[in-house]
Structure 1
Amino acid sequence: MELTVYFFFNLSLLIVLLFSGFLWAEKSKKSWSYRAIFIIYLIISLTLCFIFTYQIEGINVLFGLRKIPFIVGSLYMGLGPFLAAFIMLVRGFLGIDYGFWSTVLYYGGFAILFWRISPWFLKRSPKQRILFSVGVTFLFSFVQTFTLGIWHLPHSSFKVLFIFLVIQPIGVGIISYIIEEILMTIQLRQRTMKSKRLEAVERMGAAISHEIRNPLTVAIGFVQLLQNNAISKENHTQYLSIIKNELKSAERVIQEYLNFSNPEIKSMEPLVVQEELKQVVQSLKPLAKQNSVKIVSIFSQGEEIEGDKQKFHQCLVNIMKNAIEAMPNGGTLTVETESTPTTLGILIKDTGSGMTLEQVNRLGEPYYSTKGSKGTGLGIMVVYSIVRAMNGTIHVESEIGQGTTFKFTFPSLSPSFLEPVETKETEKELVGSR
């Protein structure tokens, strides 16, 4: 293989390896992954550069592209002394000769220099860092061509000089550019995430203040009316009842927010799903009756999951209540369970107005509600938080005019699964027209 093609192939391996490391870091999603994977990349790159070496005729020097990962790692990571020690160690295994001592001299000296200027280097702009890296590589290579006697070699001197003075600076420039793009991508993502968090906090604060201010304003108004000694006893009692209800409404909003912000379940217990679902369905019968909704329950018997009873009830109530309210002109609410050897699924289906794909994808976002100004989105946010805390998942399917299906999946405690049995008494919950 021609000498220049040989080293271009080595350079292409370094570039492909860098992209592979970046994709691996993206997949791992851990804060330490980028630095750790880049260090691994540098070590593997140096090893490859030692594999792709060339013996220059006339002098006892093994020539390779190890200068590329050395300079990049020294400037961008401040790892000059570590990388130099690794290069000296590997070069020592290949023989203690003139080439080894020249390696110690060059890489030892430049390692200390790069280690000192790395903090200054990182403060420069991306364009300045790339140009500086290329310039330093060219200077390093130019010095070697004279001190090692490469300039005066009669055989293949042009090719060797081309590799020293052109390929290595170009390689450093390409890899530096890729690193700058990666850094820019990471910074952009971090700014975007921070912006989204701030936006979520702002919208959450607006939602909480709005929902609490309304009942408090009403309560304050009726307190002012109570200060009038001329009101009747009947109105006095009525006003107190209204104040109590409004304060309970404010308390409910605060409790929903606390459940969302702190969904941790401290005490887990086995829950018989069939019994828990029956209790929730029973509590929602008056609301279903008011909306002319028929409730159909199809439960597997004896299935158990692990969780918090009160919070589990809260999840189901929030979803079923929303489903009933989505059918103001009547319909059917189906509550069903389905089992596998390891999981239990709870399906809550309605025949209401349904949602678009965009609405489904936004469920669980702060202050997002399909009810418009009438909702805060806190209820569904609480549902998502509690289900995650119980090691469960939520899948939603919906179609405009066809209804919505929420599927909750939890790890099952039951050793086997049984056939679902339709609950007869709930099948009778058909209410007359409004």
Structure 2
Amino acid sequence: MAPHTIRWGIISTGGIATKFSQVSTPHSLRFYSSNRVNHVIYPPSECSSHAQDILVDPSTRDVSDVAHKIAAVGSRSVASAQAFIDKLKAGKAPFDWGAKNGLLDNTKAYGSYEEVYNDPNVDAIYIGTPHTFHHANAKGALLGGKNVLCEKPFTLDMDELDELIAIAKKKKIFLMEAVWTRFHPIAYAVQDVIHSGKLGKVKRFSSEFSKDLDPDNQPYSHRMIDPALGGGSLLDMGPYPSVWAMLVLHHHPLNKSRKPPKLHFSHQTLYPRSNVDLNSRWLLEWEGVSQAMLMTDMSTHGPKESTVYISCEEGDLALEWGPFKPQRFWIIPHPPGAEKSIKVKTEHHYPVSAGGGMAYEADEVARCIRDGKLESERMPWEESRIVQGWFDQVRRAGGGVLANVKGNAGK
């Protein structure tokens, strides 16, 4: 049987400046809008990584039931969209497989997003714009009848997210937040170790994404600095420590209710230059499972071998930096005199397949659309809502420039 092929439309061409005229800026942020969007992604250019990764031979990740091609690209101009397509066509191995096998044949270059929404040859749209634009872009795509994979964070606030979910339900269209880490082999492996009980009960959990982005030497228009782009560490970096807490603790067999955890407290250190958060931290508790301390920081590097650290009764599990695409974890004995059943430190390696690692979530989208699903069981809407709820609470309690900002739901 031939694989089910999804024809993708790509919105925003990561690394290329994006005009504010493409989308509506939240009203309360318009005062802060800069003339230019410096759309630099960390990890590097999620938009171009997604487009590249779906051009990799799917057999390299043992996939034969679904396939991908790029039907259209929307950017600020036809010229910039075509330049993006040309760059994809000139890609080197393993990204050259798609061009050689027709995945870029007849790809349309559009100078607006609306043309991609309206293209009858597009099945699903990948949205890689800055986060304050996710709602407007995803709403436009859904109203155009297109399935949507939207980069994290899904939206600026819960009202925006709930509106998107309501549209997807009404129009019976697939919608998913692009938390790519959930679909990596290592994510399943870590869950298997913790949920199997091999290490005993989880006693303490910590997860962080810290990276020295040298904010003082970035232009104000940088998306991590500019409030109009949802700047600060929380919204941009927060999905990564959050995904590990969700996978390990929220999915834990002891979490019978699957209710949102209690957020005990949070703190934000503000960056004086633009009053966005330099770092954020918040403490959660899943009753009967464990507490979890989560942190983001754009001013300093995080620990190389413990970006996630899970302390358990019999031993500990430590995950390497960075939390977006770790390749290794270690099972570690307790200190001398406190050892339990784990006596020797062991290393466990789970690399992603050829490419950058984003094709796994694209495969999930293809399978869900093929099977008529509106949401992914691995990345369901309610779990996006839980994490969005944390971000809303931390942001509002932090006292920064974004504390009381509301998105564009209903507009």
Say yes or no: TM over 0.5: no
Report the TM-score range of the alignment, normalised by the length of the smaller protein: under 0.3
TM-score by length of 2: 0.20
Structure with greater proportional strand content: 2
User: Which entry has the higher C-alpha Rg, 1 or 2?
Assistant: 1
Relative contact order, higher structure (CA 8 A, sep 6+): 2
